[in-house]
Structure 1
Amino acid sequence: MTRGDPVFAAVTAPGTPFEIGETDGVRTFVNAPTDLAQLVESARRFGDRTLVVDFDGPAGERRLSYDDVFAWRDRVAGQLGISRGDRVAICMRNRAEWIVAFLAVIQAGGVAAVLNSRGSPPELVAMIEDVTPALVLADAERAAAIREGGYQGPILDLTQPLEAGNNRPVETGVAAPRDPCAILFTSGTTGRVKGAVLSHRSLITGLLGTQLTGSMVLHNLAKQYGVPVETIMQQVPNQAILLVSPLFHISGLGSGFLAPMLSGGKIAIMRRWDAEEAVHLIEKEQVTQLSTVPTMLWDLVNRAQLANADLGSLRNIGSGGQALPLNLLEEVHRLCPKAMLGVGYGMTETSGAIAQAVGEDFLRARASAGRVLPLVDLQIVRPDGSLCGNNESGEIMVRSAMVMNGYWNRPEETAKAITDEGWLHTGDIGYQDEDGFIFIVDRSKDMVISGGENIYCAEVERVLSELPQVRECATFGIPDDRLGELLVAVLDADGIDERAVIDWVGERLARYKAPARVAFSGGPLPRNHVHKIDKIALRAAWPQLAAAN
């Protein structure tokens, strides 16, 4: 997809919904609304279509139409009692109430601060205190955890019936494009969580960019088969997505919830990943779209083979985080012959994907992270700031209307992340080939991706260093066939065992952040030439260290 492509030129021509112009030095959709609430309101037209299928109501399965969700949203929005720009924290696991909460906050002019619901009570309270919300919207379990962490502010448990008679009309005016819309928490090399402030413009640009990609796929298929686009659209089943990613992730919020809602799709919510349940839901709900990680895709393939299941409804399967092994691709194609595979690369700070490849593009370079999307400028730079050539690795930097405003209440970190010219330091090391494909080769941010979850080593090391028996510590990832990577730790410590270390971290951070294995060095950890702990040497020595413990 390039700006020189005649199909792209036609789809983005003046007067079309995807017409592209320039504002503040970045490309934008000139006909887009300025307020996400306005874009959301356009989905009312889907009326009695099913929007949400959830399995956690008092009577079990819940099916909510667009009309149901909008009516519920309006009731909640009327009870928030907030003013434009007020922050409202949302802390729930994936469920219908989360979706309603987000829509209600945006409708009422608030800024949705979405918390990692898997966090420990101290983590949850730290995020809440960072954004000082007017109100916390939670489910019963998270409300109890927040109180356990010592938070005394107002909490509204949306799993309980709303009080009657408290509604007030919501008249907040319209947001400006750069007004804050949502705050999503992310960690960095400091190991401290920080809130990425996404504007209405950044989220809208990301969502419309997703729709543009879909429109381009349809137009190219029509061109390939020599038929009108309308003919292709008549043959495409109604979108139904299996929501696997947490809604507090940008992938869950954007591609898992808002994008399908704006397209009239159905969202089947999984409480937690379970391959058997996923196979059942794909068959039962005729799921057409699945965005997941290789770990879960392997689980799905293996379970479907055991159950002799029919996954033929799947039309789009997206993956990120690591390249798909060839044998996995072959199994997916066999089970889902009509599915178009794709890959994407993005981050919280860019409101979603900034590069993508689907179908034939994906198969041409399946180890890549895709091609740069049309509304994104990307450059790869050397340490001295000069530009890299083709196939030369450097730090990936992006500039786009999708880029965040900055980090909440962290001006120094914002200044480090975004240049005066608007270029975002991604912290990822990669290169671009002659055909425009982006390849990620390393992370300058010391992070491990395990089972699709980002685990920041500095955060875990900070907690480990609070153990009185620990003199020094290091964490890093090692390859794992199922999870992609496993987080492991090496400690110079006495008087403590592996189980106690794992429990220590698991009690203070989300359980998935605890090391899978712990080894003890028996002395000081190795250092490199700048006197930092040498993780390259530790990775090389890991088999011996693990065997000795």
Structure 2
Amino acid sequence: MEDIGEVLARCQQEMTAPGAPFELDDERLAGRTVKVYRNAPRTLPEFLDAGRAHGEREFMVYEGDRWSFTRFYAAADAFAAVLAGRFGVRAGTRVAIAMRNRPEWAVAFVAAASLGAVPAPVNSFGMREELLDALAQIEPRVLVCDLDRFNRIDGGPGVSGCEIVLADAEPMPDGGVHSMSALLAAASSEPAPPRGPGAGLGVGPDDPALLLFTSGATSRAKAVLSTQRAVCQALFNLDYIGAVAAKSSPALIGAMIERGFAPTTLMAVPLFHVSGLHAQLLASLRHGRRLVLMHRWDPARALELIRQERVTQFNGAPSMLTQLLEAPGIADPEVLRSLSGFGAGGAGLPQRTIDRLVAFTDRIAGVGFGMTETNGVGAGISGEAFRLNPRCSGVVSPIIEVRVVGAQGETCAMLERGEIWLRGVTLMSEYLRDPRATAEALTPEGWLRTGDVGYVDEEGQLYIVDRIKDVINRNGEKIAAAEVESCLMQHPEVREAAVFGVPDEQAGEAVAAVVVTREGSALGIEEIVAHVRAHLAAYKTPSHVYLRSEALPRNPAGKLLKGELKESYRAG
């Protein structure tokens, strides 16, 4: 009898063979040969056009407002006509999007992408400085935002020639800001833009497709630029992962089908993340799945929506999944009547969450590992394979190479721990306008240094065990410690500051700050927290603040001994 490793290997071999749906091919990119899915769409306009076939089927539900695929595409086409006719958006033009999850976010994205333009989703949790910095990097022709984000930037994007479109408000009295609803109402006067394969957009696989922001380990969020080919290969890889799960877990798939509910995902992760954009919005659009959008995460509200909307799938950050599984009412028969699958990405799952997932013997659960810089592609595991090996981060994708690298740059032996490097067709082109950061992340041979420590076993399963980068993972949001430290140091009474993550049962990790104030200062913890909250997104605000009078520990070269500091305050 085959073990699960043999089953997975056989599934991959069968599904990627010549003539199979996920047939692999070789392409030359940047002087190297990479594996690609032969049948994947070549560009985002081609990918998006396939969703039109779903017609009057329900696509999105938001705060009681229901959108069919027909309604959605009508809005996206109308807004594309406005972008092209009124604002001159063309292939390669950048269009920024800054708002909470809502249907208009998706309309703006699809409208821009269908023109061959470059959508640039911005972190909607950002405060004024963060939003303006992101817009300065992007230099968009159009910013589509909600009223909250508009007010945060004081009504001006700080970018010459950038038009602002409000998704949820009327035009401003001075006429300098547009209303999406008003633009859509008048869209019939704009010529319809070309669409579909061969529409003459002038967009090819090597052209830019997407800008997403990632904080990484630096004090400034970086804009990750990806090509049309990279994004489309990543999206097709999601189909491959689903096909492997179905083929290797027939009993679980059979139980899901027997429940008889239309595939419906509860969407709580932000759309500006690859996990929300790729794995939920775009995958659902192409394959005709329903999306139920949450305005903000709340486990009690999530359970209510699962019951009301007959949700079949929940994917979220590990902390979200933990909170959902521990919420009162998760075992309600009306919740479990439809809920068939759970998924998590990013950091590893706590053991108690794994135990709860495995206890659902007739539900599909899975995890994945990827990065913004890889368009989410890396490794994935679900279904029976996850149940048998829930501590691993997934089986390596057939279009990605993995190298485990030691401290001296040597390739580690199997099962030996080192930094995970990734290479393949889905990798970013660059960090926009940041050649130094790009060179630090990408080797001349095309490897991406992930900053994560792990190993690969003999069956090609990847294990992530630690992080090199000084990044805090709070509720799935990556927080650069250097960014919070920089903010703290802007306070005139702060002399030194060190920020790091500490374990937190609810959020996975919480932000801790050690602050050295100037001599004679009366600065208190509440004032420090208020200072950070006034300048950075709320989720970056420290949950734990420790005041000290003595200097922070440093080595003879002046480097901060953060490890020593962490141990001291975790113990205390």
Q: TM-score, normalised by structure 2?
A: 0.88
Give, in angstroms, the shift of residue 269 of structure 1.
0.1
Contact kept in structure 2, 1:243 and 1:290, CA below 8 Å: yes
Q: Deviations over 1:65-109 (max 9, x none)?
A: 111100110000000131110101011100000011100000122
Residue 172 of structure 2 is matched in structure 1 by none
**Distance in 1 separating the partners of 2:330 and 2:73:** 40
2:46 counterpart letter in structure 1: Q
Residue 524 of structure 1 is matched in structure 2 by 551
Q: Deviations over 1:235-279 (max 9, x none)?
A: 774311000110001111011211122221000000001111100
1:40 to 37, 45, 48: 48
Describe the SS at the equivalent of 2:377: strand
2:167 counterpart letter in structure 1: L
Deviates further, 144-153 or 16-25: 144-153
2:35 counterpart letter in structure 1: R
Contact kept in structure 1, 2:249 and 2:384, CA below 8 Å: no
Alignment of 1:224-263 (within 5 A): 237-263=261-287
Deviates further, 29-38 or 402-411: 29-38
User: Structure 1: 5+ residue runs without aligned partners?
Assistant: 56-60
Q: Deviations over 1:308-366 (max 9, x none)?
A: 453322222112344334443343455x5531111111110000131111123223332
Describe the SS at the equivalent of 1:399: strand
1:67 to 66, 70, 80: 70
Matched, 1:324 2:371: no
**Distance in 1 separating the partners of 2:34 and 2:257:** 32
Deviates further, 6-15 or 92-101: 6-15
Matched, 1:187 2:215: yes
1:47 counterpart letter in structure 2: G
Describe the SS at the equivalent of 2:154: helix
Matched, 1:28 2:36: yes
User: Structure 2: 5+ residue runs without aligned partners?
Assistant: 169-178, 195-199
Deviates further, 308-317 or 421-430: 308-317
Contact kept in structure 2, 1:18 and 1:212, CA below 8 Å: yes
Q: Deviations over 1:379-409 (max 9, x none)?
A: 0011222100122111110111110111111
Describe the SS at the equivalent of 1:5: helix
Residue 242 of structure 2 is matched in structure 1 by 214
Matched, 1:131 2:138: yes
Residue 76 of structure 1 is matched in structure 2 by 79
**Distance in 2 separating the partners of 1:303 and 1:510:** 26
Describe the SS at the equivalent of 1:53: strand
1:98 to 85, 105, 124: 105
Query: Residues 450 and 70 of structure 1: is their aligned pair in 2 closer, same or farther, counting only changes over 3 Å?
Result: same
Contact kept in structure 2, 1:78 and 1:166, CA below 8 Å: no
**Distance in 1 separating the partners of 2:500 and 2:8:** 43
**Distance in 2 separating the partners of 1:256 and 1:80:** 25
Residue 227 of structure 2 is matched in structure 1 by 199
1:168 to 191, 206, 217: 191
Alignment of 1:338-353 (within 5 A): 338-353=362-377
**Distance in 1 separating the partners of 2:372 and 2:426:** 10
Matched, 1:11 2:15: yes
Q: Deviations over 1:406-425 (max 9, x none)?
A: 11111221122112221111
Give, in angstroms, the shift of residue 234 of structure 1.
8.1
Query: Residues 314 and 306 of structure 1: is their aligned pair in 2 closer, same or farther, counting only changes over 3 Å?
Result: closer
Residue 541 of structure 1 is matched in structure 2 by 568
Contact kept in structure 1, 2:207 and 2:227, CA below 8 Å: yes
Residue 497 of structure 1 is matched in structure 2 by 524
**Distance in 1 separating the partners of 2:222 and 2:249:** 42
2:218 counterpart letter in structure 1: T
1:470 counterpart letter in structure 2: V
Q: Deviations over 1:168-222 (max 9, x none)?
A: 3313524211211110011233311110002111111111111011122223345
Q: TM-score, normalised by structure 1?
A: 0.92
2:459 to 419, 424, 435: 435
Could you say what the CA RMSD is over the residues aligned between the two structures, in angstroms?
2.4
Contact kept in structure 2, 1:464 and 1:473, CA below 8 Å: yes
Matched, 1:514 2:549: no
Alignment of 1:370-381 (within 5 A): 370-381=394-405
Contact kept in structure 2, 1:121 and 1:149, CA below 8 Å: no
2:110 counterpart letter in structure 1: L
Contact kept in structure 1, 2:451 and 2:469, CA below 8 Å: yes
Describe the SS at the equivalent of 1:374: coil
**Aligned length in residues:** 535
**Distance in 1 separating the partners of 2:503 and 2:256:** 42
1:142 counterpart letter in structure 2: R
**Distance in 1 separating the partners of 2:215 and 2:420:** 18
1:51 to 46, 56, 59: 59
Matched, 1:367 2:391: yes
Q: Deviations over 1:18-48 (max 9, x none)?
A: 2210112111112222211111111111111
2:536 counterpart letter in structure 1: L
Residue 158 of structure 1 is matched in structure 2 by 167
Matched, 1:274 2:298: yes
Query: Residues 272 and 37 of structure 1: is their aligned pair in 2 closer, same or farther, counting only changes over 3 Å?
Result: same
**Distance in 2 separating the partners of 1:404 and 1:520:** 41
1:75 counterpart letter in structure 2: A
Describe the SS at the equivalent of 2:211: strand
Residue 145 of structure 1 is matched in structure 2 by 152
**Distance in 2 separating the partners of 1:302 and 1:412:** 44
Deviates further, 422-431 or 6-15: 6-15
Matched, 1:401 2:410: no
Query: Residues 445 and 326 of structure 1: is their aligned pair in 2 closer, same or farther, counting only changes over 3 Å?
Result: closer
Query: Residues 232 and 369 of structure 1: is their aligned pair in 2 closer, same or farther, counting only changes over 3 Å?
Result: closer
Give, in angstroms, the shift of residue 137 of structure 1.
0.8
